[in-house]
Amino acid sequence: MRRINRRSILAGVVAGAVVTVTAGCGDVEPPATGGKDGGTTKVSIQIDGAAAPYYAPLYWAKEQGYFADQKLDVEFLYADAATITKNVAAGNVQFGFPNADTVIQAVANGVPDVVVHTTYQQGIGALLTIADSGITSPAQLKGKTVAVTSLGSPNYVQLTAMAASAGLDVKKDMTVKVVGTGAIVSALQNKEVDAIVFSRLRYYTLKAAGVQVNQILSNEYLPSFGNVVIAGQQYAQKNPQVVKGFTSALNTALQDLIDGKLPAAVTMSVQKYAPSFAGQEQTVTEVMQEVFAKELWQSEATKANGLGYGDPAAWQKAVDAQKQYGLIKGDVRATDFVQKASS
């Protein structure tokens, strides 16, 4: 019940959070227990969406005591990406784990967030279509009905960029339908829509269910980083050791999973955090081994600089792509809001 109540409180302060961001975050020191010497610092991380085994590195870091080793007591909360960026900046939570596309838009709009750990080294959005639809490129979306979870979602941003690459306008050249997270995949399967822009992970879910599906990765049109760890600017400046401890613990967990503990981490995550995925452990593990461990968590940049590394040139490319497609205005410099190294 504590998690539900806390989430309700956070959802209710979003409007106030915007005011707080504008006025300044004030004192955002996290509460601590046990005194100054040897005490444990309590922090919350608000995660994009709902509990899922795909967030196994965070859960593993807690259950294996890696956060505790850094004297951190971490609580997991959940919300949509836009809400997360505001709550983090306002100091309502200490960390967030939203999609990078939303972070760029928030920063461009003056929300004072910083990326402290580039967890996913590329985007995870994709345009998904049933194989017999004949849609194999963004240009073929003209006159079609495409579903997204909301008009403020990262997937809508990705659809806008994909459409623009083909000279299409999402408002004029296609019908965009809003379908909830729990129903969007079914809408595609039942051919209620011609395509959906959603997580590329659902491609594997559909294939496992025997559905012939095509995917076009949004990262090819809108370079991005999927989920990343963010903190408020003031919080990161005032609490560098907390930030370093959090990202170090996360890196330890990531390395565990890369080194072979992923099956155990998925099983634990389903049992303790995401019971709705019961029975899907093997499929989730296979997807995470092929996509997360090989492509999302690691890149040439992380091989040279360590897990969670934020490559400023790659981030600037993502920023410039959003500006090119009219998704943000003004000049935004990646070096102003992205930390290069996570620890």
Three-state SS sequence of 91-137: CCCCEEECEHHHHHHHHHCCCCEEEEECCCCCCCEEEEEEHHHCCCC
Structural domain of 170: 125-220
Please tell me whether residues 9 and 114 are part of one structural domain.
yes
Kindly compute the dihedral angle of the four CA atoms of residues 335, 110, 177, 126, in this order, to the nearest 10 degrees. Answer: 10
Please tell me whether residues 143 and 93 are part of one structural domain.
no
Q: Which pLDDT belongs to residue 11? A: 38
Please tell me whether residues 193 and 236 are part of one structural domain.
no
Q: Which pLDDT belongs to residue 152? A: 73
Question: Nearest-CA neighbor of 78 among 273, 238, 253?
Answer: 273
Residue 240 lies in a domain: yes
Residue 62 lies in a domain: yes
Residue 262 lies in a domain: yes
Please tell me whether residues 62 and 210 are part of one structural domain.
no
Query: What would the two tokens of residue 227 be?
Result: 């989920």
Please tell me whether residues 141 and 114 are part of one structural domain.
no
Contact 142, 194 (CB under 8 A): no
Please tell me whether residues 143 and 283 are part of one structural domain.
no
Q: Which of 202, 220, 238 is the last residue before a domain boundary?
A: 220
Please tell me whether residues 19 and 161 are part of one structural domain.
no
Rounded Cα–Cα distance for residues 88 and 103 (Å): 11
pLDDT digits (tens, 9 = 90+) for 265-292: 999 999 999 999 999 999 999 999 999 9
Please tell me whether residues 79 and 154 are part of one structural domain.
no
Contact 223, 321 (CB under 8 A): yes
Question: Nearest-CA neighbor of 82 among 20, 176, 15, 170?
Answer: 15
- For residue 194, give the CATH number of its domain: 3.40.190.10
Q: Which of 162, 191, 220 is the last residue before a domain boundary?
A: 220
pLDDT digits (tens, 9 = 90+) for 313-322: 999 999 998 8
* Number of other CB atoms surrounding residue 174 within 10 Å: 20
Rounded Cα–Cα distance for residues 313 and 319 (Å): 10
Residue 342 lies in a domain: no
Contact 119, 149 (CB under 8 A): no
Q: Which pLDDT belongs to residue 38? A: 61
Residue 99 lies in a domain: yes
**Positions in the chain short of pLDDT 50:** 1-37, 342-343
Please tell me whether residues 13 and 101 are part of one structural domain.
yes
Q: Which pLDDT belongs to residue 341? A: 61
Sign of CA dihedral 166, 172, 174, 176: positive
Please tell me whether residues 235 and 115 are part of one structural domain.
yes
H-only helix segments in the chain:
2-12, 14-23, 56-63, 66-69, 81-90, 100-108, 154-165, 184-189, 201-208, 233-238, 240-256, 262-272, 281-287, 300-305, 312-324
Q: Which pLDDT belongs to residue 117? A: 98
Please tell me whether residues 116 and 230 are part of one structural domain.
yes
Contact 129, 195 (CB under 8 A): yes
Residue 343 lies in a domain: no
Query: What would the two tokens of residue 197 be?
Result: 């822009």
Residue 91 lies in a domain: yes
Question: At 205, is the secondary structure helix, strand, or coil?
Answer: helix
Rounded Cα–Cα distance for residues 189 and 210 (Å): 11
Please tell me whether residues 216 and 229 are part of one structural domain.
no
pLDDT digits (tens, 9 = 90+) for 201-242: 889 888 888 899 999 999 888 888 999 999 999 999 999 999
- Counted domains in the chain: 2
Q: Which pLDDT belongs to residue 198? A: 93
Taken as a whole, the chain contains a residue count of 343
| pTM, 2 dp | 0.81
Q: Which of 220, 245, 266 is the last residue before a domain boundary?
A: 220
Residue 341 lies in a domain: no
C-alpha angle with apex 137: 135 to 138, nearest 5 degrees?
105
